[in-house]
Amino acid sequence: MKNVVVVGSQWGDEGKGKIVDWLSSQADIVVRFQGGHNAGHTIVIDKKIFKLRLLPSGIVRKGKISILGNGVVIDPWALLNEIEEIKKQGVEVNTENFMISESASLILPFHQEMDEIREAAAGKGKIGTTRRGIGPCYEDKVGRRSIRVMDLRSEVNLDNRLENVLSHHNTIRKGLNKMIFEKDKLKKELLKIAPNILKYVQPVWIKLDQFINDRKKILFEGAQGILLDVDHGTYPYVTSSNTVPATAATGSGLGPNKINYVLGITKAYTTRVGSGPFPTELNDEIGENLGRRGKEFGTVTARKRRCGWFDGVLVKQTIKISGINGIALTKLDVLDELKEIKMCVGYELYGEKINYLPAVSEDQFNIKPIYRSFTGWKSKTKGIRNLKDLPDNAKKYIHALEDFIEAKISSISTSPERDDTILVEDPFSN
C-alpha cells in the first residue's frame, strides 16, 4: 500500500489533471489539500472533456472517493455550481463519493471583491491573481477570522463569526469608499445553501485515518505548482498557499510519515500564467508555436499562457525543495515540429554564473538563461505508448533532462488522452 502526492514542479498547468486521472485508476481516495477554484484541471476520457476547478480529479471515476481537505478554501456557490455542471455530464456526486473537511475556510463575496479592488489598483505591480478571492480568504484564515464550513451548522455561531470578519472588512471598505456588506443579508444567503454543503461534511482526518488502517491507496492532488508556493516560489508573484507536497499532510490532517511517494508533474517546456519573472520566456514565433500546439490557455480563466524553453535549473530546485521521487514528463509531443530544442542549464546574473533561482524578485527579473541545444526529432510522438518507439533525438533530450534535474522520469505523456502514457515506474508499486 502506498500513498502518493502529485504536485506541479513548475508554475502550474503542467497537465496534472490527466496524470491524476491516470493514477486514480489505482487509487481508492483522491484528496485536494490546498488552493481553491483558481486552479483548473482538464481531463479527457474517451474524447469527453471534463473541466474541474475545485472538485478532485477522482470525481470522474466510479468507485473512487474524492475529498476537499482543510487546507482548501471553498467558494460554496462556485462548488455547488460545479457539482451541478459535472452531474449534467453524467458524473455522480453524492455523500458516498465526495467529502468536505469541516475545517475548510469559505470564500465569501467580499473576498472576491477585495481581490478585484487590489488587482485593479496595482497597475504595473499586478500579481496576476485570478480574482476569485483566494488570497483574501487565506488572509482571514491566518488572521483567525475566517468563516469555516463547520460554522454553517449553527445560526448563532455563524452570526458571531460574521460579526467578527465583517468588522474587519467593512472598516477597510469604508476607507476605500466601497459599499459595506450587511451581515444579516449574507447570513441569510449562507443559511440558504448550508444544507447543500453540510451534507458532504465529515471530520476528514478521522476518515483518512480509517482509510489508512483499511490499507486504502490515497492520491493527494496538488493545485498550481511549486514555483507559486508562498514561501518557495517567485514571491510576491505567487499564490496564497503552500503548494509543496509537505502541505498534503497539514492540508488534510494526515501525518507526513503516511506519504510514501512524491510525483512531480513536469512539462517538456515551460509555461506561466499572469505576471512575474520567467527566465526562459520566448516572445517570438517559437513561443507562439508552443502555445498554439500546446493549447496553452488556462482551464479556469482562459488566459493565454506565456511559453518558453524547459528551465532545468528551476525544476532541479523544486525537486530539492519538494522531495520529489519521480517526474511525470508531459506534452512531449508539442516539441515534435522543432528543428532545435533548448534547455536552460544555468543562469547569468550581473555577469556571474549561478545555478539556482535567487530569492530577490529584482534578481529574478534580471537573470539570463544559459542554454544547452538539442537537435529536434521532427517526427510524431503523439500517442506513443512505448519508450523504445520514441525517436532517437527525443530519447536523447529526455535522458539529458533526467540527468540534469537529478530525478528519475517515471512516465511520459504523449497526448491529452489518458492512455497515451509511457510508464517507466509506477508510483503506487515502486
Q: Is 276 left (phi over 0), alpha (psi -120 to 50) or beta?
A: left
Candidates 43, 39, 40, 4; CA nearest to 22 is: 43
Between CA 402 and CA 388 the distance in angstroms is 17
Candidates 35, 70, 69; CA nearest to 53 is: 35
Q: Which residue in 21, 28, 37, 41 is the catalytic one?
A: 41
Based on DSSP, count helices (H) and strands (E) in the chain, helices before strands: 12, 20
Containing H/E element for 29? Answer: strand 29-32
Between CA 231 and CA 17 the distance in angstroms is 24
- Cα 192 to Cα 84, 156, 184, 257, distances in angstroms: 17, 15, 12, 40
Between CA 52 and CA 136 the distance in angstroms is 22
What burial letters (b/e) apply to 346-358, b meaning 16+ CB within 10 Å?
A: bbeeeeeeeeebe
Helices within 278-414 (DSSP H only): 285-293, 312-322, 361-366, 392-405
Burial of residue 89 (CB within 10 Å: 0-12, 13-18, 19+) is exposed
CB 83 within 8 A of CB 124: no
DSSP state of 316: H
Question: Catalytic: 13?
Answer: yes
Which sequence positions are flagged as catalytic? 13, 41
